[in-house]
């Protein structure tokens, strides 16, 4: 799958990324190379191969579920840029 400069511009706009015009052609070539590699991976026969999360089997250690010092709102909010009434204040991101 070849990716052209128009596709790079569209994806950059959708992702709200400022992409300098002089780098668009180079980025299109790099992304096309990545897509070619992904297409090669699709050719690999994976029938009968179990999905895995690690190269070696490792049992994750379990810990006791205990209450920690999170119950002190002043301490929790001490590093917050802004807080009101014991809550974090964050900028609105959804219209």
User: What whole-number distance in Å separates Cα of residue 19 and Cα of residue 25?
Assistant: 11
Q: Where are the domains of the chain?
A: 5-42
pLDDT in tens, 21-67: 999 999 999 999 999 999 999 899 989 988 888 888 888 889 898 87
**Eight-class DSSP state of 47:** T
Q: Read off the pTM.
A: 0.50
Pairing of strands 83-84, 87-88: antiparallel
- Strand pairing partners for 84? 87
Q: Shortest CA distance to 76 belongs to which of 88, 67, 84, 65?
A: 88
Residue 89: pLDDT band by 50, 70, 90 thresholds?
very high
Q: What is the pLDDT of residue 95?
A: 73
What mean pLDDT is reported for the chain?
89
Residues belonging to the chain: 95
């Amino acid at each position: 799958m070849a990716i052209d400069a128009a596709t790079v511009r569209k994806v950059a706009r959708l992702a709200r990324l400022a992409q300098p015009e002089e780098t668009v052609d180079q980025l299109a070539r790099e992304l096309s190379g990545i897509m070619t590699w992904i297409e090669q991976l699709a050719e690999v026969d994976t029938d009968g191969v179990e999905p895995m999360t690690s190269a070696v089997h490792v049992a994750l250690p379990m810990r006791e579920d205990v209450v920690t010092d999170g119950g002190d709102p002043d301490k929790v909010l001490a590093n917050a840029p802004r807080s009101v009434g014991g809550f974090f204040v964050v900028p609105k991101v959804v219209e």
